[in-house]
Amino acid sequence: MMVLAAPPPILPADPGDWGHMDGWAWGPAWLMGLFMILIVALVAWLVWSATRGWDRRPPSGGNALDVLDDRYARGEIDRDEYLRRREDIRG
């Protein structure tokens, strides 16, 4: 009868003997912490930007009729409201 030997363990029995750069992984711990902070800040900025909307811009700045024309052109108000407000502005 043939006896097979057990396969070698995947990881060493002693975690201190793993030989992975003696706990440094790919850089100092403070550098990894800095990258974590930067990643969290980036994600927070992306969420903040998405909730603000990319196409928001201040009004054109002209007189009231220019602002009304801009709102109508962007589709914020319909034709009836546009005509009513234009007559109110003109007096």
The pLDDT tens digits for 9-30 are 665 555 555 555 555 555 677 7
pLDDT tens track for 54-79: 666 665 567 888 889 989 999 999 99
Taking CA atoms, 57 is separated from 17, 36, 44, 54, 72, in Å, by: 59, 32, 21, 9, 15
Residue 27 pLDDT? 61
- pTM here? 0.36
Would the pLDDT of 8 be above 90? no
Burial status of residue 68 (CB atoms within 10 A of its CB: 0-12, 13-18, 19 or more) = buried
H or E segment at 40? helix 29-52
pLDDT at 3 exceeding the cut of 60: yes
For residues 30 and 32, what is the distance between their CA atoms, to the nearest angstrom?
5
